[in-house]
Amino acid sequence: MLVQRSISLGIFTQLSTAALVPRQIAYAGNYAIVNCGPDNTALLHTLLDEIYTALLPAIQDAETTHGPAFQAFFKDAENGAKVSNLLVNITEGAPAFPPDTQFPNGAPLLVCLSGKGELSGRISTGEPFDAFDRCNASIAALSLTGTKYIAICPLFWTTPALVTSPPAPPANNQPASDCLSLSRNKRQFRGTTTNRHGAVKLVQYKVWVVLEEIVHSYIYAAFGLGSHTNPLDLYDSNAALALSAQDSLLNAPSYVLYVASIYGHCTSFPSSTGRELLDAGPDIAANQPTNETDLVSVEPSV
């Protein structure tokens, strides 16, 4: 059951039709893994298990609303229930989309693509759409907004830039080595929005890439977004930090930065007074049929 409390459910679609050609179907809980082959299916199953483990402490933290990571990325205590509910939905693979005969549970589907014609349809304007066309030299995965489909592109498996998973949290409860660091004045994360500091958390590990695309699906379902209110991907940690409390709920990378920070026992975050000095960046609204993990446009700084 999709956890709703205080937020309305609205299902819309930007793809007026979508056709999937399934050859192999496996399940990890309620999540279907389609056309991925034995080895890649096993890896995705492992990644989904790791996502479940990583989400549990983040859910607990969001319920308190007082932690520094929550305050940095979601700001307002009123967001606590909305964030924790969305993360709970992901752990359960809760129904987010209308069921169909082949996939009756309504959870997002992970579809591995190897060529054209495997996941195609038409967008609301009537123009043809093939998900594989978005799988170029930089796109590792994408969520087809308004549908249950998450496309896993060939680059997800082949690029050496993507490590499977982050290291396990330190046994002594100390912060992990890949936590975000602060600028000298501690008012923002080190780096600038130009060099997109912080994106390494989203593109270095396959587990966070999969989480981000799943988050897109549940954001779309839980907040009832229409076809012209598709949230952008603001990967840069300072851009995510500067979002309003309301807009932060619609930015999938904010959830991933938050979950990764909790998982890594990270403790250093900019102060709220410093956050007010940052530029808010673009409004969270777009008119595009996908949200995608682009390994070129999110280069981390050092």
Mean pLDDT of residues grouped by 10 in the chain (302 residues)? 29 49 89 96 96 96 94 94 97 91 91 93 81 89 88 92 81 79 80 53 83 93 61 78 91 93 90 51 41 46 22
The two structure tokens encoding residue 93: 């693979």
Give CA angle at 181 (188, 242), nearest 5°.
30
Write down the pLDDT at residue 106.
92
Write down the pLDDT at residue 284.
39
Write down the pLDDT at residue 209.
93
CB contact at 8 A, 28 and 47: no
Write down the pLDDT at residue 33.
96
Write down the pLDDT at residue 288.
41
Helices (H), the chain: 37-64, 68-74, 80-92, 155-158, 200-203, 206-222, 237-242, 245-248, 252-263, 272-275
Write down the pLDDT at residue 225.
60
Number of other residues whose CB lies within 10 A of the CB of residue 109: 23
From CA 297, how far away is CA 233, in angstroms rounded?
11
CB contact at 8 A, 110 and 98: no
Residue with tokens 């969305």: 86
From CA 6, how far away is CA 284, in angstroms rounded?
21
Write down the pLDDT at residue 39.
96
From CA 235, how far away is CA 251, in angstroms rounded?
9
